[in-house]
Structure 1
Amino acid sequence: MRIDKVLWFLRFSGSRGMAQEWVADGHIRINGRRVARASADVKCGDVLVLPLPTRVRVIEVLTLPERRGPAVEAQGCYRVLDGATENLDS
């Protein structure tokens, strides 16, 4: 699935266009590599580095979302790896 679509479906971006700009600015990494195209492919198990306004978020994609659903549904599709306690079950 395209990175811009994933970011929008997972609710990290307010719109798909905003996600495309974010990628074009060179701020997103997939598995440690900088992403230059909004059409870059994201698969289950990929690790994304997302520079959010207040912090850098590192997530692992567990399942690809089928739609832009509620936040709880989106949060179930990824696991936070950056040490933050939110979105963790334990």
Structure 2
Amino acid sequence: MEEVELPDGSPQRIDKWLFFTRMVKSRSIAQSLVAAGSVTVNGAVARQSSLTVRPGDKVGIALERRDVLLVVRAGGSRRGPFEEARLLYSDISESLGEQKVLTPFERAQRRPKP
């Protein structure tokens, strides 16, 4: 089944967008992050993986090792190579300030609960 190219500005599910940007390895991991409350969109916690994002939205992700803040530039049509995925977002994580190095115990606590 072939994915259809999305027109500019069209909404896309947050789980698909995270997968297409290569922030997570699978859509099910993206859905787990959303269910655990580890994803925010425009400052509000994303409660469902069906939440849609559009260009200009700010997406925050609490990953196992660090926090990431991204601005959506476009919706994806497939999970392509890194160079293609990098065009879907702007990384503004430096605006979060200096992040401390997490201990293994702190990283274990950040993992999403299935």
Scaled by the length of structure 1, what TM-score is found?
A: 0.88
Query: Are 1:2 and 2:33 counterparts?
Result: no
Tell me the percent identity.
36
Separation in structure 2 between the aligned mates of residue 31 and residue 16 of structure 1, nearest angstrom: 21
Aligned residues: CA RMSD = 1.1
Q: Does the Cα contact within 8 Å between 2:55 and 2:72 map onto a contact in 1?
A: yes
1:79 equivalent in structure 2? 90
Match of 1:26 among 37, 53, 75: 37
1:57 equivalent in structure 2? 68
Q: How many residues align?
A: 84
Scaled by the length of structure 2, what TM-score is found?
A: 0.71
1:44 is displaced (CA, Å) by: 0.7
Structure 1 residues not aligned, in runs of 5+: 85-90
One-letter amino acid of the counterpart of residue 24, structure 2 = S
2:54 equivalent in structure 1? 43
Asked which structure has the greater CA Rg, the reply is 2
- Structure in which a larger fraction of residues adopt helix: 2
Separation in structure 2 between the aligned mates of residue 54 and residue 5 of structure 1, nearest angstrom: 22
Separation in structure 1 between the aligned mates of residue 69 and residue 46 of structure 2, nearest angstrom: 15
Separation in structure 2 between the aligned mates of residue 55 and residue 25 of structure 1, nearest angstrom: 16
Separation in structure 2 between the aligned mates of residue 31 and residue 40 of structure 1, nearest angstrom: 12
2:101 equivalent in structure 1? none
Q: Which runs of 4+ in 1 moved over 4 A?
A: none
